[in-house]
Structure 1
Amino acid sequence: MKLVWSPEIAAKALVDTVKSCELLEGSSVAELISAMAAGWNAKLIVETWCSGDVATTSIGLEVASVHTGGRHVCIVPDEASKAE
C-alpha cells in the first residue's frame, strides 16, 4: 500500500474545520489533525474520547472522514461521555 499526500483534500478539510470550529476556542489542533487525516486519505479514523476532552478534535476528524469518504469511529468509556 502506497500513501499519497493530497494537498487539495487537506486544504478543503482544514478550511471546513476552521468554519465548523470558528466559535470554539483552541481549534488549531483540530485543524491540523483534520488536514493530516484528509490529506493522507484515511478511510478509517478511530478516536478515543472521554468526558471533559476537547470536542473540536472530534469535529475535525469527522470533517476529514467526510472529505475522504471514510468512516469516523469514536470510542467512549461510559454513558456520561457518550451523552456529552
Structure 2
Amino acid sequence: MRARINNILDFVADKHQATNVLLVTHLDPIKAAINRMFDLNPDTLFNMTIKNASLTILRHGSSDYNLIAFNVMNMNRYPLEQ
C-alpha cells in the first residue's frame, strides 16, 4: 500500500501544481501518507487514531509533502492559502 500511496501523491503533485486538491479516503492511506513524511515504526502507525470524517492537510513543498494538520474537525483554523 505504501508504494501505491506514494505513486498517487507524486501523480497529484505533478498534475495539480499550485492548486488545492481534495482526496477522500480511509485511515490506512492517510497513515501511509504520514509515514512517507515521518518514517514511523509499524506500532506507532497502528496506534495512531484518525477520527471519522476528519481532515488531514498536506502541503507539497519544493521536494516533498509537509503535514500541516491532522484530525481536523474545524477547517476555519487552517486556511487553504499558501
Q: Which range, TM-score by smaller chain?
A: 0.3 to 0.5
* TM-score normalised to structure 2 length: 0.33
TM-score by length of 1: 0.33
| Bigger relative CO (Cα 8 Å, ≥ 6 apart) | 1
